[in-house]
C-alpha cells in the first residue's frame, strides 16, 4: 500500500502544481479549467460489487465523527471494525458507546497523526468514514482509496484545486467511491424541492441561492480540542468562502450539475473582516493566541457562479456576524420560486396565491411533494436524529446503495465541484473579483451523465 503522510502529501501537491505550471496545465491564475492527463476511467455511475455486510472504519471521532459512530451502529448490515483518532478521550468514548450497546469492541488506533495508516492496512474494512479537520481530508481519502477501500469524507472534500484533482485521479485509478458526505441533500425540504424541480413545478430553472450563514464565533473558545481548535485558523488563512457545500449541494442537485450542466466560472467578493478580531478582543486576554491572529476572511463572502447552461447561483458564507441561521435554499424557475429560512413558495401556475405573495403554509406542499425517500424513511430518520434526520438518512442511503449494488447519490466529481468554490473564491477575492474558471472534474462526462435517479424520474 502506498502511504502518504500530511507532509509528503503537501510536498507532492506543490510538486504537482509546479509541474503543471511547467506543462501549462491544471491550476494557473485563471487556468483552473484545464484538466491534467487522466490516469484511470471515469467513475460516474460507479457501482461497487454488492456487499452483504458493510465493514466500517472511522478516522476522526470528535464532535461530528462520534455522531457518525452512533448513527452507523443503528443501521442494519454494518459492522464497525476499527476506529482511529489522535485524541484518546474521544476514541474511548466511541468504543464505550458501542460496547455499552452490546456490540463488539472495535480495534482502536491512536498515538500519532499517521496511526490511521495502520488501520488502512487491515483487510476486513470496506469503507472508511473520515471526519477529521479539513487539512486531513485529502491525504486520508487518497490513502483510503489506495488501500482498496471506499472513502466517505466530511465536508469540504478538500482545500485546493490540486487536492481535488489528486482525489479525482485516485478514484478513477482505483475505481473506488469517494463520496463527500453532504448531509443537507438529505433534508426533508431539500428532498421535497428536488422532487418538485424534477416534476417541473418551477418551470425551467434560472437561478439558485445557497449559503452557510451560521454564527460560530463561540467556537473560538475551543482552543485545545474540538472544531474551533483548528477551524479558527482558517479565518486567518483564506479570504473567501470557507465552507460552501451545505447550501450549494442541494442547489447543484436541483440543477443537475455534473449531470447535464456544470459550473463554468465564478466571481467573488468579501466584506471587511471585523467580527472575529472584535470578538477576540472582547472575549480573550490581550496576550491570548486568539488575539494574535490576523483575521482576513471577510465576515460575509458572496460568490456568483455561472453554469455552462447560463444559470446563475449566489453562494454566501458568514459564520461571524450576529444574524439568524440560513442556507437560503432558493431555486427560481420560469414558473416561480421556492425559498428557505423560512420556507416559502410563489408560483405563477399551480400555487394557492398570486405569485406576488409568498405562501408560507407548507403542509399541503409536503402532502403533495414529499420525496419518496422521506416518505419511506423520514420517521425513522427523525427518530435517529442528526440535523432533523438528514444525517441518518444519508447514512442509511449510503449503506443501502453499497448493499444493493446501486450507484451513490453523490460522487467524487460532485464533492470536488462543490468544494473547489472555496479556493477559487479566494483567488477571485484577491484579484478584484476577477472571473475564475471552474475545473470540469468530469472531463466532459457531465454532458452524457444521467440525472440522479433517486426521485424515480430521470
Ligand atoms: N456535515 C455536517 O453537518 C458537519 C457538521 C460538523 C462538522 N463537519 C465536518 O466534520 C469534520 C470534523 O469536524 P468536527 O467538528 O468533528 O471537529 P473535531 O475537532 O471535533 O473532530 C475532529 C477529530 O479528528 C481527530 N483528528 C485530528 N487529526 C487526526 C489524525 N491525523 N488522525 C486521526 N484523528 C485525527 C481529532 O482528534 C478530533 O477528534 C470537519 O471536516 C467538519 O467540517 C460536518
Cα 240 to Cα 317: distance, rounded to the nearest angstrom = 8
Q: Whose CA is nearest to atom 38 of ligand 1?
A: 62
- Residue 83 reports pLDDT greater than 70: yes
pLDDT digits (tens, 9 = 90+) for 328-384: 999 999 999 999 999 999 999 999 899 999 999 999 999 999 999 999 998 888 888
SS3 content of the chain, % helix, strand, coil (to 5): 40, 15, 45
Residue 13 pLDDT exceeds 50: no
Distance in Å, CA 154 to ligand 1 centroid: 8
* DSSP designation for 326: B
Closest residue by Cα to atom 25, ligand 1, is: 60
CATH topology for 48-180? Answer: Rossmann fold (3.40.50)
Q: Are the C-beta atoms of residues 113 and 89 closer than 8 Å to each other?
A: no
Domains of the chain: which residue ranges? 48-180, 185-383+407-447
Which of 66, 132, 235 is the best mutation target for the ligand 1 pocket, counting ligand atoms within 8 Å of the beta carbon and taking the most?
132
How much of the chain, in percent, has pLDDT values that exceed 70?
Answer: 91
| CA-proximal residue: ligand 1, atom 21 (nearest) | 62
Spacing, Cα 19 to ligand 1 middle (Å): 32
Q: What is the dihedral of CA 166, 156, 120, 69, to 10 degrees?
A: -160
State the closest ligand 1 atom to the C-alpha of 243, by its place in the atom list counted from 1.
Answer: 43
Ligand 1 atom at minimum distance from 87 CA = 37
What residues flank ligand 1, with Cβ below 6 Å? 59-65, 84-87, 90, 113, 116, 131-134, 136, 154-155, 183, 226-227
- Cβ atoms of 259 and 221 within 8 Å: the answer is no
- Output the CA 40–ligand 1 centroid distance in Å: 30
436 strand-pairing partners:
266
Residue of the CA atom closest to atom 43 of ligand 1:
155
Across the chain, mean pLDDT equals 92
* Atom 31 of ligand 1: nearest residue by CA position: 113
**Confidence at 12, pLDDT banded by 50, 70, 90:** very low
pLDDT score for 457: 42
CB contact set of 125 (below 8 Å; sequence gap of 6+): 55, 56, 57, 81, 82, 119, 149
Q: What's the 73 CA to ligand 1 centre distance in angstroms?
A: 19
In a 3-state reduction of DSSP, which class is residue 127?
strand
Residue written as grid cell 506543462: 23
The rounded distance, in Å, linking the Cα atoms of 127 and 416 is 19
Closest residue CA from atom 4 of ligand 1: 64
Confidence class for position 1, pLDDT limits 50, 70, 90: very low
Query: Which has more confidence, 32 or 397?
Result: 397
Mutate to test the pocket of ligand 1, among 7, 62, 112, 248 (most ligand atoms within 8 A of CB): 62
Mean pLDDT of 46-71: 98
60, 130 contact by CB (below 8 A):
yes
The pLDDT score that the predictor gives to residue 33 is 52
What is the distance in A from the centroid of ligand 1 to the CA of 156? 11
Query: What confidence score (pLDDT) does residue 454 get?
Result: 65
pLDDT for 93 equals 98
Identify which of 14-18, 20-24, 417-421 has the greatest average pLDDT. 417-421
Q: Parallel, antiparallel, or unpaired for β 301-307 and 312-318?
A: antiparallel
- Please state the pTM of the whole predicted model: 0.94
Name the percent of the chain lying above pLDDT 90: 88
Q: Which fold has domain 185-383+407-447?
A: Dihydrodipicolinate Reductase; domain 2 (3.30.360)
* pLDDT exceeds 70 at position 74: yes
Task: Kindly give the number of the ligand 1 atom that is closest to the alpha carbon of 182.
Answer: 1
Q: Does the pLDDT at position 218 exceed 60?
A: yes
Write down the pLDDT at residue 387.
Answer: 84
Strand bridging mode 150-153 / 178-180:
parallel
Give the distance (Å) from ligand 1 centre to CA of residue 215: 19
Give the least confident one: 5-9, 113-117, 330-334. Answer: 5-9
Q: How far out from the chain centre does Cα 270 lie?
A: 22
Q: Give residue 308 CA to ligand 1 midpoint distance, Å.
A: 34
DSSP alpha helix (H) spans, 75-127: 88-100, 115-120
The residue among 395, 418, 397 whose CA lies nearest residue 409 is 397
pLDDT in tens, 264-286: 999 999 999 999 999 999 999 99
Amino acid at each position: 500500500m502506498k502511504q502518504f503522510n500530511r507532509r509528503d502529501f503537501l510536498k507532492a501537491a506543490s510538486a504537482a502544481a509546479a509541474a503543471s505550471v511547467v506543462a501549462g496545465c491544471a491550476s494557473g491564475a485563471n487556468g483552473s479549467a484545464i484538466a491534467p492527463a487522466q490516469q484511470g476511467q471515469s467513475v460516474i455511475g460507479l457501482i461497487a460489487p454488492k456487499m452483504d455486510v458493510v465493514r466500517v472504519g472511522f478516522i476522526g471521532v470528535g464532535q461530528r465523527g462520534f455522531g457518525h459512530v452512533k448513527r452507523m451502529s443503528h443501521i442494519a448490515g454494518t459492522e464497525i471494525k476499527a476506529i482511529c483518532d489522535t485524541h484518546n478521550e474521544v476514541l474511548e468514548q466511541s468504543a464505550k458507546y458501542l460496547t455499552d450497546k452490546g456490540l463488539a469492541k472495535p480495534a482502536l488506533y491512536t498515538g500519532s497523526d499517521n496511526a490511521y495508516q495502520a488501520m488502512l492496512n487491515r483487510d476486513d474494512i470496506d469503507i472508511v468514514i473520515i471526519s477529521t479537520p479539513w487539512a486531513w481530508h485529502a491525504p486520508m481519502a487518497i490513502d483510503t482509496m489506495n488501500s482498496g477501500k471506499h472513502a466517505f469524507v466530511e465536508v469540504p472534500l478538500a482545500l485546493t484545486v490540486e487536492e481535488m484533482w489528486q482525489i479525482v485521479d485516485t478514484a478513477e485509478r482505483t475505481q473506488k467511491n469517494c463520496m463527500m458526505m453532504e448531509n443537507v441533500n438529505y433534508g426533508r425540504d431539500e428532498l421535497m424541492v428536488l422532487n418538485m424541480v424534477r416534476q417541473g413545478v418551477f418551470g425551467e430553472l434560472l437561478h439558485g441561492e445557497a449559503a452557510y450563514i451560521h454564527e460560530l464565533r463561540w467556537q473560538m473558545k475551543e482552543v485545545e480540542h474540538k472544531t474551533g481548535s483548528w477551524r479558527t485558523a482558517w479565518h486567518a488563512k483564506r479570504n473567501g468562502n470557507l465552507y460552501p457545500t451545505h447550501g450549494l449541494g442541494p442547489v447543484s442537485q436541483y440543477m443537475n450539475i455534473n449531470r447535464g450542466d456544470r459550473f463554468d466560472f465564478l466571481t467573488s467578493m468579501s466584506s471587511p473582516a471585523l467580527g472575529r478580531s472584535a470578538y477576540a478582543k472582547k472575549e480573550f486576554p490581550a496576550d491570548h493566541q486568539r488575539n494574535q491572529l490576523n483575521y482576513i476572511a471577510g465576515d460575509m463572502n458572496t460568490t456568483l457562479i455561472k453554469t455552462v447552461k447560463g444559470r446563475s447561483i449566489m453562494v454566501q458564507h458568514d459564520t461571524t456576524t450576529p444574524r439568524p441561521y440560513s442556507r437560503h435554499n432558493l431555486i427560481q424557475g420560469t414558473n416561480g420560486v421556492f425559498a428557505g429560512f423560512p420556507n416559502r413558495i410563489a408560483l405563477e401556475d399551480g400555487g394557492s396565491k398570486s405569485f406576488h405573495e409568498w405562501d408560507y403554509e407548507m403542509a399541503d406542499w409536503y402532502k403533495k411533494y414529499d420525496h419518496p425517500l422521506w416518505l419511506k424513511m423520514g420517521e425513522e430518520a427523525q427518530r435517529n436524529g442528526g440535523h432533523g434526520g438528514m444525517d441518518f438518512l444519508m447514512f442509511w442511503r449510503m449503506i443501502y446503495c453499497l448493499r444493493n449494488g446501486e450507484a451513490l447519490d453523490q460522487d467524487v466529481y460532485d464533492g470536488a465541484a462543490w468544494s473547489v468554490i472555496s479556493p477559487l473564491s479566494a483567488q477571485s477575492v484577491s484579484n478584484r473579483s476577477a472571473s475564475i474558471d471552474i475545473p470540469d472534474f468530469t472531463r466532459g462526462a457531465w454532458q452524457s451523465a444521467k440525472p440522479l435517479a433517486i426521485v424515480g424520474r430521470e
